Amino acid sequence: MKVLITGAGSGIGLLTALVLAERHHYVYLATHTQKEADKVKKLIHAMHYDNADVIKADITISKDCDFLMKIPFDCLINNAAQTIGGSVLNADIEQMRRVYEVNLFSSFSLVQKAYQKFKENHRGRIVIMSSLTALAPVPFLGIYSSSKAAISSLVTTLRNENKFLDDNISFTLIEPGMYHTGFNQYMISYILDDQVFKNNNYDIYKLESAFFQIFEKRKLTSIVSKIVKAVEDKNPKKVYRAPFLQSLFCKLYNIIK
């Protein structure tokens, strides 16, 4: 299968791309910046993969998205994301708009474009990354959590709408839990400058840091294996979640909340 994955410059996106290449898929790794692209190209070269290409593409730029659609892929992994942290009351609205632009509006514009591309060939797979925080929002990560909740809701709607269409295009949702990629640490760093909670922001920061230190999974294997299943399974599930215990907690939270 030929797979295009956005947000492939680091973390879950990069490791997923490498695993798929190792499993003999042809992988197109789209990175947000040229610096990321150059770094990933060196890695691909060092690993001697001849079934992987690296592309610098910003999904908020129309011409970049149009270029991506010219690539001969039959599976899209919509992984690109941006975030800010801190309290909702202290959030910079322009930064908040940027998070929603990347995570929601530009991402689903890409989904629409990919769907039209796949429709011509009467087949294709669209895998969309959300988060378990869509089910159980984490304090001081509210902007990110809410954007992911919107993604999960839209993908559910997409699948229900797609039942009325006679095509062979699937939509699969991936909801990762807490993994140690540096993403969470970046978000909670905003707490230190939070003016609404300035009287105790350091104590809150220490509490959040301890929370992630305890519950973050160090290895990405469990979630990457789920994404690979979404790409390879003959009949992919509607939703894949990992790690298991975090997924179970989120289900219980939604029952008793």
CB 137 within 8 A of CB 205: no
Give the pLDDT confidence score for residue 150 in this predicted structure: 98
* pLDDT > 70: percent of the chain: 100
Instruction: Give CA angle at 77 (1, 112), nearest 5°.
Output: 105
Following CA atoms 112, 116, 119, 125 in sequence, which dihedral angle do they give, to the nearest 10 degrees? Answer: -40
Residues 185-204, mean pLDDT to the nearest whole number: 96
Report whether pLDDT(257) > 80: no
Report whether pLDDT(90) > 90: yes
CB atoms within 10 A of CB 4: 27
Report whether pLDDT(256) > 90: no
Give the pLDDT confidence score for residue 28 in this predicted structure: 98
Report whether pLDDT(112) > 90: yes
- The structure tokens listed for 102 are 């990347």
* Amino acid code (one letter) for 65: C
CB 21 within 8 A of CB 49: yes
Give the pLDDT confidence score for residue 166 in this predicted structure: 81
**Cα–Cα distance for residue pair 167/162, rounded to 1 Å:** 8
Verify cis geometry, omega within 30 degrees of 0, for the bond prior to 72: no
Give the pLDDT confidence score for residue 254 in this predicted structure: 86
CB 128 within 8 A of CB 107: yes
Q: Among 21-25, 121-125, 193-197, whose mean pLDDT is lowest?
A: 121-125
Residue 25 confidence class, pLDDT cut points 50, 70, 90? very high
Question: Whose structure tokens read 């797609």?
Answer: 162
Residues 2-30, mean pLDDT to the nearest whole number: 98
Q: What is the mean pLDDT of the chain?
A: 96
Report whether pLDDT(122) > 90: no
Residue 121 confidence class, pLDDT cut points 50, 70, 90? confident
Residue 102 confidence class, pLDDT cut points 50, 70, 90? very high
| Domains assigned to the chain | 2-251 (3.40.50.720)
